[in-house]
Structure 1
Amino acid sequence: MSKYTNIPSEIRNLFSEKRQRIVMNDLLHILESLRIDQRCLGGVKRANCQLTNLQVFQILILLPFFAVSGLSHYTTSVMSRMFGGKKDILYSFMAQDTVDWRNVIYRIAVQLISMITVRNDFKKSHLPTVLITDDSDLPKTGKRMEMIGKIFSHVHQKCILGYKTLMLCWSDGRTQLMLDASLHGEMGKTQGREQGLSATERKKRYSRERDKESQTTKRKKEYFMNKGEKLIEMVKRTIKAKIQFEYLLVDSWFTNFALIDFVCKCHKKFHLLGMAKMGNTKYNTKEWGEITASAILGKLKSKKAINYSRKYRCHHASVTVTLGKREVRLFFCRMGKNDKWRILLTTNTSLDFLRAYEIYSMRWSIEVFFADSKRILGLADCSARDFSAQIAHVSLVMIRYNLLASIKRANDYETIGGLFGEMYNGVHELTVIEKIWGIILEVITAVTELTGMDEENMLDLIIRDNSRLAAFRILAQSA
């Protein structure tokens, strides 16, 4: 096994006290303090393996922060020369079927949430804690990837090659942490061209035999699962992890009777707050009987029950109705004269419009995650053919984002992008380590020629009490 039992500690030794960045120190400290069992990461390796699974996991987390743009560049990086191993070690770890990435993400998220909830700014906040869900496109370019197919992109308004990812995050209004994710595909409507691919294209996709009980096999089973049903499973897992939240925020695609019924029946007390469609769904009202949302809005207009909010510059109205057997409250809202009326639905019938609007605006947090993670952390950039590696990549991006979000909260950075830039700029010292070490060796050689001392003894004498020079020496010996 590698002699570097504590990789974050070894990296910290590379920086002098004056050159250490607060954000890098915080990242290494959090990574060092995370309680992750080897069994969560695929089990314990044989004694003759170069790196443990935990060490490989830590290296994978740190790669983007040390100017390593991809796994293929690891072999030529300073981290490889320091800790050993080639890129194959990373690829093999990513392709493991035994890693329960959901469990790993939840374990880390629970620890990070506990660090946030003890803060005074959390205790004094007037905003509730919420769960937020949404899906996003992960565009791909290779048709040989496992399970790959065409999906309909609402952004591009056309079918594109890639995966859909459904994600769940926790937020307190200031910090959002990712909790869960699933990869999905779409079968399509054309027989013979399932997933938008021909039979030949589907046959050429990568595939391999897996154990029926492996984690990746379980994840493949949910690939064509209804995302509404998957969301309910995710919320159940969050409750089981004992993560506290007061509201579940969703858009109109997820708001349906099944979700409302689940929220109302759940033993964990929380409320649903989501957009609803101005469609044909009928609501039972005490005054007008069973009518559609647009008909309810017409009745409210005729009663002149439309109010105006100067704070949010919008017209709004509200009414309590029954959907199925569940009592819910509808909020109608229009931002401008030419804007369409929209509906917010909540299971909290005591909620007023201004508070509902304020809480629902927290849903923007997940959109910020999608933007930052794609632009900075490469959420959609994995080109691996193996489905296990695709899951591992998405999971690692979520973990990196959670670590950055926690550091952002502690150091009051304005954006994740600014935080990443500060951290990235702080590690350029590593890229010139070899040159510096070469200069040190040249000086020592010149001195030994003048004094007649043994070069190795002089080197030992100089670095014996200097941890920084000792780290330089380790790099040189592992080069």
Structure 2
Amino acid sequence: MGEQVLTLGLATEEEFLPLDSNIFISQSKAQGLNQPFSDQRSVVAKRYQDAVANDKPSMAEGMIQRAQNQGIQADYLVADAWFGTKRMVDVAISQGLTGIFRMKKGQQKFTAQLIHDSYQQQDLNLKERYHKIVKSQWRKVAGLPWKACSIKAEMDLNTDQGQPARKVGVKLLFVRGLKTKEGQTPGRKDWAVFLTTDATMSMSKMLEVYALRWSIEVYFKEAKQHLGFLKEQTVSFASHIASIHLTAIRYLVLVHAKNKSKSANPASVRRQINDQMNLLSMAGRLWQMFRTVIQGALNELSAEFDVMGVLKKNR
């Protein structure tokens, strides 16, 4: 209860590689340990301290730093709306990455000029900005089934009240689906907002890069259904940490096999391995059956020979 898995991965157009995972424990729903760790210097003990002492942005920043320390380089930091916060935007900038986040339609204010208000700068949240600007400025995104509107704005990264503003330039991209061939029109609330720390990035590029994030959804689907993700019948923190990392290792083995065999994706490799294992299992069962039949035949022959031997002696 109260545990959530955070995973950092490297996504490309060809594949997704899980790099690091951690468990976040909510303070409101946290359950204590069944027994304390015997060695507080152990990896699992340190992971547990991270899980209870840090918030999600701090944990994400730690995972990014560990990956960079190991020589893994990336151009973008892409995350869903749970990480569309001031803190994560700050993390992306501080780590030298271009952040692209889906944003929640909350109360976060952005400063931008309103053309129809004589270029007056106003601080508005996303819903207010949508109704004042975006609704009348949709335009088709080239090559994609969406219409969009982008706005250059400023975002104050300061999270402490009373402190000087620390504003950075960002681009907000409002996106809405087009009318479908079946004549269905998106509802008034069927729109999403994305933010990038690169205010010069095109709308198409933002959506193209953000689309790579869906590869982690494919990873989790494969991990949960076929690779034993948190399937262990235990409730200990150590077993959970082991499970999420063993699952990642299994997936990486499939990625490696995919690259060597030039298969379409890790799931196809997993199916091939399953088929081979099923064949081996079937062969094993058949061999066991053959052994039983052969043993039965030998026992019958042995009994017959013994009877014949007795008859010969009697004669």
TM-score, L = length of structure 1: 0.51
CA distance in 2, matches of 1:281, 1:386: 38
Q: Which residue does the alignment assign to 2:46? A: 218
1:294–1:288 CA distance, 2 compared to 1 (3 A): farther
1:352 Cα deviation (Å)? Answer: 0.8
On the 8 A contact 1:273/1:345 being kept in 2, the answer is yes
1:209–1:313 CA distance, 2 compared to 1 (3 A): closer
Q: Which residue does the alignment assign to 2:86? A: 257
Structure having the higher Rg: 2
Question: Is the partner of 1:317 in helix, strand or coil?
Answer: strand
CA distance in 2, matches of 1:240, 1:437: 57
CA distance in 1, matches of 2:106, 2:241: 36
Q: Which residue does the alignment assign to 1:7? A: none
CA distance in 1, matches of 2:174, 2:20: 31
On the 8 A contact 1:318/1:353 being kept in 2, the answer is yes
Q: Which residue does the alignment assign to 1:425? A: 275
Amino acid in the other structure paired with 1:335: G
The answer to whether 1:164 aligns with 2:15 is no
TM-score, L = length of structure 2: 0.76
Q: Which residue does the alignment assign to 2:303? A: none
Amino acid in the other structure paired with 1:319: I
Aligned length: 267
Counterpart among 115, 127, 150 of residue 318 in structure 1: 150
Q: Which residue does the alignment assign to 2:174? A: 332
CA distance in 2, matches of 1:220, 1:316: 43
Question: Is the partner of 1:374 in helix, strand or coil?
Answer: helix
Task: Give CA-to-partner distance per residue, 1:393-414, whole Å, 9 cap, x none.
Answer: 2211100101102222333333
Higher relative contact order (CA 8 A, sep 6+): 1
Question: Is the partner of 1:392 in helix, strand or coil?
Answer: helix
On the 8 A contact 1:276/1:343 being kept in 2, the answer is yes
CA distance in 1, matches of 2:202, 2:37: 54
On the 8 A contact 1:252/1:276 being kept in 2, the answer is yes
Q: Which residue does the alignment assign to 2:302? A: none
Amino acid in the other structure paired with 1:282: K
CA distance in 2, matches of 1:209, 1:262: 32
1:323 Cα deviation (Å)? Answer: 0.5
Amino acid in the other structure paired with 1:221: Q
Segments of structure 2 that go 5 or more residues without pairing to the other structure are 114-118, 157-166, 179-185, 299-315
CA distance in 2, matches of 1:404, 1:313: 33
The answer to whether 1:240 aligns with 2:92 is no
Identity of aligned residues (%): 21
The answer to whether 1:378 aligns with 2:228 is yes
Segments of structure 1 that go 5 or more residues without pairing to the other structure are 1-149, 152-162, 189-193, 446-479
CA distance in 2, matches of 1:313, 1:389: 44
Amino acid in the other structure paired with 1:186: S
Question: Is the partner of 1:368 in helix, strand or coil?
Answer: helix
Q: Which residue does the alignment assign to 1:184? A: 24
Q: What are the residue-to-residue correspondences of 1:305-454 with 2, within 5 Å? A: 305-309=137-141, 311-324=143-156, 325-336=167-178, 337-338=186-187, 339-427=189-277, 428-429=279-280, 432=284, 435=288
CA distance in 2, matches of 1:388, 1:358: 38
Give 4+ residue runs of structure 1 displaced > 4 Å after superposition. Answer: 433-439
Q: Which residue does the alignment assign to 1:271? A: 98
Amino acid in the other structure paired with 1:278: K
